[in-house]
Amino acid sequence: MLIDARIIGTGSYLPKRVLDNHELAEMVDTSDDWIFSRSGIRQRHIAAPDEFTCDLALQAAERALESAQRNPEDIDLVIVATTTADQVFPSTACLLQERLGIRGGPAFDVQAVCAGFVYALDVAHRYIQTGGSKCALVIGAETFSRILNWKDRSTCVLFGDGAGAMVIEASDSPGIISSHLHADGAYKDLLCVPTGISTAYDQVLQREAFTEMKGKEVFRWAVSALGDAVVEALEANNLTEKDIDWLVPHQANIRIIQAIARRVDMSLDKVVVTIERHGNTSAASVPLAFDEAVRDGRIRRGQNIIFEAFGGGFAWGSMLVKY
Q: Which residues have a catalytic role annotated?
A: 114, 250, 280
> Which residue has the CB atom at the shortest distance from ligand UT7?
215
Binding to ligand UT7, residues 136-175 (CB under 6 A): 153-154, 157
The nearer residue to ligand UT7, 183 or 239, going by C-beta atoms, is: 183
Judged by CB under 6 A, the chain residues 81 through 140 that form the site for ligand UT7 are 114
Residue number, 35 or 136, with CB nearest to ligand UT7: 35
Q: Which helix (H) or strand (E) holds 108?
A: strand 107-110
Of 187, 259, 195, 251, give the one whose Cα is nearest residue 217.
187
Q: How far is CA 252 from the centre of its chain?
A: 10
CA distance 6 to 4: 7
The residues, any chain, with a CB within 8 Å of residue 295's CB and separated by 6 or more, are 10
Q: Specify whether the CB–CB gap between 32 and 22 falls below 8 A.
A: yes
DSSP 124-141: HHHHHHTTS-SEEEEEEE
Total interface residues for ligand UT7 by CB under 6 A: 21
Position 57 contacts ligand UT7 (CB under 6 A): no
DSSP assignment of 162-199, as one string? Answer: EEEEEEEEEESS-SEEEEEEEE-GGGTTTEE----HHH
Tell me whether residue 33 or residue 98 sits nearer to ligand UT7 (CB atom): 33
Q: Does 222 bind ligand UT7 (CB under 6 A)?
A: yes
In the list 119, 144, 210, 219, the residue contacting ligand UT7 (rule: CB under 6 A) is: 219
Given 54, 75, 256, 305, the residue binding ligand UT7 (CB under 6 A): 256
> Which of 250, 301, 305, 308 has the alpha carbon at shortest distance from 279?
250
From 223, 217, 182, select the one nearest 313 (Cα to Cα).
182
Question: Least distance in Å: CB of 37 to ligand UT7?
Answer: 9
Question: Does residue number 17 form part of the binding site for ligand UT7 (CB under 6 A)?
Answer: no
- Residues 274-313 within binding reach of ligand UT7 (CB under 6 A): 280, 310-311
CA dist., res. 53 & res. 47, Å (int): 9
What is the closest distance, in whole angstroms, from the C-beta atom of residue 157 to ligand UT7 in the complex? Answer: 4
Question: Closest separation between CB of residue 87 and ligand UT7, Å?
Answer: 24
Closest to ligand UT7 by CB, 30 vs 149, is 30
Closer by beta carbon to ligand UT7, 133 or else 281? 281
Is 248 near ligand UT7 (CB under 6 A)? no
Q: What string of DSSP letters covers 196-235?
A: -HHHHHHHHHTT----EE-HHHHHHHHHHHHHHHHHHHHH
Assess 44 for contact with ligand UT7 (CB under 6 A): no
Q: Are the C-beta atoms of residues 137 and 8 closer than 8 Å to each other?
A: no
Q: Which residues in this chain contact ligand UT7 in the complex, by CB under 6 A?
A: 30, 34-35, 38-39, 114, 153-154, 157, 191, 215-216, 218-219, 222, 252-253, 256, 280, 310-311
